[in-house]
Structure 1
Amino acid sequence: MSSRLRIVEAETGPADLPAQLPAEARLLRQVPGPDRPDYFFAVLDEAIAYRTTLVALQEQGVNPDAADPRLIRINDDGSVDLRIFGIVFAGRIAGEAPHAGMKNFPVSLAYVIDNSAIQDGALDFAKIVYAAVAFITDIDDESTAVGP
């Protein structure tokens, strides 16, 4: 897989996500997770805004205190505003992997809440929040991009 990708659209996910797409990112590396070996970390060129609640984060097993304090605001009403730069994704169908030349490839997409996840040897679900079913495209050489 190449080093640059674009999140083209989201099929499901937070209501505020579609208006922030397309979003471009730089692929960092592949990492195994607790359920499959083929997750990928990437860093967005521009932050995605994500609004949620403390209760929702805690219900997903995420510790909001571990988020970079420059990227999180916890409001008095319990709502949380996050600026997301780190993302994690895997092929929507197990066994199908993102690849060079992909176009509108379906992935399960998660937001990285605790940026230390990017250095970990394996994916820790407590450091991410599942966000969406999305479609990504290889943008290193869009002129040759083809479907999976």
Structure 2
Amino acid sequence: MNALKSVINQPEVKADASEEVIESNKRSTPYTDDVFAAAWKKFIEISESQGKHQEALILKDEYAKEEHTITVFIANEALEPSFEKLRTDLLEYLRNELKNDHIQLRSVIKEIEKQKMLYTDKEKFEHLKRKYPALKDLQEKLGLDPEF
């Protein structure tokens, strides 16, 4: 009975201790933006040489790097599955190339501005008048009619 009480009264061993050990085993070699950009470009070249042109095209678009988190901007939702297939290879490559296990990847679908299509001559002329206000003066002086 006393043995049971001593086991119960022992301080808890926290799971955080094992997380600290795992955390300390991670590589954390510092790297510059230039070294990162070179590794990124090299991965794109490797992908293209393996025939993964669509994936390489996704990586050629813009990305944002904030500390160890890299955000890849994807043009539309249709390209998301292609990036997901590529994500693990890219992450593994960057971590090994830069010797830093703290690197994380995330993707964001960027919104593309949708502009109203201009079909008629009047719509096109009104758009140009908004873009170039001097056109309005010219229209009045010359008596131009876009509906001609």
Higher helix share: 2
- Give the TM-score category using the shorter length: under 0.3
Q: Which has the larger radius of gyration?
A: 2
Higher RCO (C-alpha under 8 Å, 6+ residues apart): 1
Higher strand share: 1
